[in-house]
Amino acid sequence: MKEVIKAIGVQRVWEATSNADVAAAQEKYYKQSEDTKNKVRVARWVQESGGLIHDPPAWDKYNKKPAQSLAQGDAVPFTPSESYKQKADSLAEVIKAIGVQRTWEATSNADVAAA
């Protein structure tokens, strides 16, 4: 009888330890799951609100001048007449390129048709 009582005691100790381990593991995974859900909620909120950084630029914040442009070459004037001239020049180059392409296509089509 003592052996049975001893075996039952050992079994109960093992069950209590096992139950405690299972409960700790479940709590750990539950907490990880909740942390993940909270991170997703925060990320969704950040995405909906357009980001977290809504501060003014640093030069405004500290009354400093903005850094100079990193663009290579001379600055392009932003007057309307200069802008219209640049657009017209660009359009002329595009039309010229289209003419060359159409000439090539016509020659190519004629060669294919003659073959």
Give φ, ψ of 54 to 5 degrees: -120, 15
**Statement: residue 42 has pLDDT above 80:** yes
Provide the pLDDT for residue 11.
Answer: 93
Q: For the CA atoms of 23, 26, 32, 38, what is the dihedral angle to 10 degrees?
A: -100
> Mean pLDDT across the chain, nearest whole number?
82
What pLDDT digit, counting tens, does each position of 73-112 carry? 565 556 667 778 888 899 999 999 999 999 999 999 999 9
Provide the pLDDT for residue 13.
Answer: 92
Provide the pLDDT for residue 109.
Answer: 93
Domain ranges within the chain, ordered by starting residue: 1-52, 77-115
Report the range out of 35-39, 40-44, 48-52 with the highest average pLDDT. 35-39
Those residues whose C-beta lies under 8 Å from the C-beta of residue 35, and which sit 6 or more positions away, are none
**Statement: residue 14 has pLDDT above 80:** yes
Provide the pLDDT for residue 86.
Answer: 84
74/28: higher pLDDT: 28
